[in-house]
Amino acid sequence: MDRDLSRSRALLIGNAAYGHPDVPDLPGVPKSLAAMDKLLTGDLCGWPADRVTCLAEVGTPSELAVAAVAAVRDVEDVLLVYFVGHGAPTSDGRLALMLARTDPHPEALPHTAMLYENLASIMRGCPAATKLVILDCCHAELSTRSHFRFQSVSLSEAYPVDGLYAIGASAANRRAKSPLDGSMTFFTDAFVSVVEAGIPGLGPTLRLDQIFLDLRLRLLRANRPEPVESGIRGAHRFPFARNAAASAHPPARDTVPADPPARDPLAHDAMRAPAPHNSRRTVLMASASALLFSLGGIWLSGDRPRATALSPSDSHRPQPGPTRGGAPTASSTTPAASAVHDARPFVVRGAAPLAAPLSGDSFVTSVAFDTDGRTLASGGNDAMIHLWDVTDPARGVATVASLSGHEGSVESIAYSPDGTMLASAGDDATVRLWGTADPTRAAVVGRPLTGHRGAVWSVAYSPAGGMLASGGDDGTVRLWDVADPARARQLGAPLTTSRGSTGAVALGPDGRVLAAGCDNGDVLLWDVSAPARPVQLPKALLGHHRYVPSLAFAPDGRTLAAGSDDGTILLWNITDPSRPVRVGKPLTGHHDTVWSLAYSPDGRTLASGGNDRRIFLWNTADPARIVRIGQPLDGYHNDVSSVAIARSGRLMAGACGDGTVQLWRLNG
- In a 10 Å sphere around its CB, with 0-12 CB exposed, 13-18 middle and 19+ buried, how is residue 77 labelled? middle
Give the ranges where 233-274 is alpha helix by DSSP (H).
none
Range(s) of the domain holding residue 634: 298-667
Tell me, yes or no, whether 378 and 499 share the same domain: yes
| Pair 231, 328 in one domain | no
Torsion of CA 117, 118, 123, 124, to 10 degrees: 70
Q: What is the pLDDT of residues 498-525, one digit of tens each?
A: 778 899 999 999 999 999 999 889 999 9
- What mean pLDDT comes out for the span 518-547? 92
170 located within any domain: yes
Percent of the chain with pLDDT over 70: 79
**Is 441 within the bounds of a domain?**
yes
In a domain, 54, yes or no: yes
305 & 231 share domain: no
**202, part of any domain:** no
Question: Which pLDDT score, from 0 to 100, does residue 28 have?
Answer: 92
Asked if 64 and 132 sit in the same domain, the reply is: yes
Mark whether 235 and 354 lie in a shared domain: no
| Residues 624, 629, 634, 638, Cα dihedral to 10° | -20
What total of structural domains would you count in the chain? 2
Q: Which amino acid is at 290?
A: A
CATH of the domain at 587: 2.130.10.10
Instruction: State mean pLDDT over 475-491.
Output: 96
229 in the same domain as 317 = no
User: What does pTM read for this prediction?
Assistant: 0.55
Residue 431 within a domain = yes
Q: What is the pLDDT of residues 353-369, one digit of tens each?
A: 885 544 556 788 999 99
Same domain assignment for residues 229 and 357 = no
What mean pLDDT comes out for the span 386-406? 90
**CA distance to 370, 377, 385, 656, per residue, from 390 (Å):** 10, 10, 16, 18
Q: Are residues 333 and 403 in the same domain?
A: yes
**Could you tell me if 150 and 72 lie in one domain?**
yes
Question: What is the C-alpha to C-alpha distance for residues 94 and 361, in angstroms, rounded to an integer?
Answer: 16
Residue 502 lies in a domain: yes
Residue 193 falls within a domain, yes or no?
A: no
Question: The CATH number of the domain where 84 resides is what?
Answer: 3.40.50.1460
pLDDT reading at 560 higher than 80: yes
Residue 232, pLDDT above cutoff 70: no
Do 344 and 235 lie in a common domain?
Answer: no
In angstroms, the Cα distances linking 453 to 75, 225, 482, 494, 502 are: 48, 15, 21, 11, 12
Query: Do residues 231 and 304 share a domain?
Result: no
Contact partners, residue 388, CB within 8 Å, separation at least 6: 300, 375, 376, 377, 378, 397, 398, 399, 400, 661
Please compute the mean of the pLDDT values over residues 28-53 and round it to a whole number.
95
Q: pLDDT tens digits for 60-119? A: 999 999 999 999 988 988 999 999 999 988 888 888 999 999 999 999 999 999 999 899
pLDDT digits (tens, 9 = 90+) for 326-337: 333 333 333 333
What is the rounded distance in angstroms from the CA atom of residue 40 to the CA atom of residue 45?
5
Distance between terminal CA atoms of the chain? 45
> Is 305 in the same domain as 175?
no
Burial of 484 from C-beta contacts in 10 A (0-12 / 13-18 / 19+)? middle
Q: Has residue 187 been placed in a domain?
A: no
CB contact set of 236 (below 8 Å; sequence gap of 6+)? 163, 165, 207, 208, 209, 637, 638
